[in-house]
Amino acid sequence: MQDLDNQNGAIKDIKIEDSWKTVLRDEFSKQYFKDLTDFVRNEYKSGVIYPAPKNIFRSFELCPFQKTKVVIIGQDPYHGAGQANGLCFAVGEGVALPPSLQNILKEIEADLGVAPAKDGDLSRWAKQGVLLLNATLTVRANIAGSHQKKGWEEFTDSVIEKLSSERENLVFILWGNYARKKGEKIDRQKHLVLEAQHPSPFSAYNGFFGCKHFSKANKFLLERGLGEIDWR
């Protein structure tokens, strides 16, 4: 795909991380991806779209294919000003924490007995091998789900399929029915799949709190000599 300069509408080559460019090279030549590129380009030209163009593929930039240990699947970026930063559930530095992220950090503290950091950027996780993957990578300002069913889901399905088929001993974390459905084809003989309710305030008390996914993920990784994630 191509990156978009939100200031002047210019097009320039995307700087997606090299290992992902190799793994996903077949996707970039498919018709759906060409149509998606045209759609996203026109959206950035005609309205306010999140995240900033340089951050569309930020989750891949920070977490190369071979360094991925954990995959957390979200739905689409936050649609409020200054929130989306290219990592699912995360927000830009200095931005107030959304309720779901607040609940994620509460569960980390309860599960691991450590006080998590107060900022919501989460790039500290991505740099350790946590792929924070939204199913849809862009959204129109103030319109949730506005870029769904335009091709992003097919692209991110291919990401999950590549990880499932070409890697081993990954941890996939699926919160809520949408993420569960997204992860239906993960090879559970090769990987650990953890499922729970979504951390939203509407469902967190019905199975998210107490799921202990962070300690379970670390136990699985440590048992295989892969090194745990510092979730703070």
Q: Compute the distance between CA of residue 89 and CA of residue 136 in angstroms, rounded to an integer.
A: 13
Nearest to 41 by CA among 179, 150, 166: 150
Nearest to 98 by CA among 179, 183, 106: 106
Catalytic residue flag (residue 38): no
From 5, 13, 26, 76, active-site residue:
76
DSSP string spanning 71-110?
EEEESS---STTT--SSTT---TTPPPPHHHHHHHHHHHH
Q: Compute the distance between CA of residue 125 and CA of residue 166 in angstroms, rounded to an integer.
A: 22
- Other C-beta atoms closer than 10 Å to the C-beta of 178 total 15
- Residues marked active site are found at 76
